[in-house]
Structure 1
């Protein structure tokens, strides 16, 4: 999936998770939480030097790409555990917001990439690819439709939570 689809997926996942976990209510905590959700939705593509995350961290991205390849370690349970571990090291005032936001974004990224023809290696270092039975090619019209649906879902979830208070 492309960056914009991941971004919409991360925002929608963060909004959905926010309802389940009775997430942050103060504005500064919400900004941190949703920002972390968006960042988390782009972070697994550190393994791809031409991605948004790869371009922001060129040296790290090239190292991860050459060492592990694309959609391996950063698209696995190991990466999820690393996000949790690093989040637990952060300043306590925002660590919960950051941790849950990042997790919502990262998990949405992995689910969306599992819906592509290539799938992901979630159990890395075991070389088994996981792919949804319903999948699409990255950059296809179907992905564009998915991105639009995720944008509508994110807007609806955010409106429900922050405007209509349902």
Structure 2
């Protein structure tokens, strides 16, 4: 999936999460968008990889792409760090929701992810899409609509 699809996925997921929590929706929204980019730190050409090129190169050299940073182990470690060191619980939760949305979206690609890293098994959905293909554009559109729907509910717009 492309960066824009991951961002809108993080936005949609965080706004959906806002429906079932008492966290501040605007914090979840921002954190979800950022969190959705974090797993791709292992790829130098990604939005976050270009922002932190040295860190990206190190992580890629040690683990490769779509391995450790796309795993439940990484998600659990991030949860521990976020809830221990971040000053706001909504920020931590939003980052994790965004990261989780990233993993789900990458499971919809042909290559899948190593969700159970360090085990080498790749996990993907039975039906997959090509990054940047027509199906991804349709997923982007659907996630955009879901973001509007959940955003409307989360922010209690009154007309």
Structure 1 and Structure 2 fold alike (TM over 0.5): yes
The match for 2:145 is 152
Q: Matches of 1:10 and 1:33 in 2, distance apart?
A: 9
TM-score of the two chains, using structure 1 as the length reference: 0.90
2:61 maps to what in 1?
Answer: 66
Residue 159 of structure 1, CA deviation: 0.7
Change (3 A) 1:19 1:78: same
* CA–CA separation in structure 2 for the residues paired with 1:98 and 1:61: 23
User: Unmatched 5+ residue regions in structure 1?
Assistant: 25-29
**Cα distance in structure 1, aligned partners of 2:127 and 2:85:** 38
Deviation at 1:33, TM superposition (A): 2.3
Number of residue pairs the alignment of both structures matches: 158
Q: Secondary structure at the match of 2:137?
A: helix
Q: Quote the residue 1:48 is aligned against.
A: 43
Shift of 1:99: 1.3
Deviates more, 1:15-24 or 1:54-63: 15-24
Q: Which 4+ stretches in 1 moved above 6 angstroms?
A: none
Q: CA deviation at 1:79?
A: 1.3
Would you say 1:107 and 2:100 are equivalent positions? yes
Q: TM-score, normalising length from structure 2?
A: 0.94
Equivalent in the alignment of 1:90 = 85
Question: Would the aligned equivalents of 2:14 and 2:97 in 1 still touch at CA under 8 Å?
Answer: yes
Compute the RMSD of aligned alpha carbons: 1.3
Q: Which runs of 5+ in 2 are unaligned?
A: none
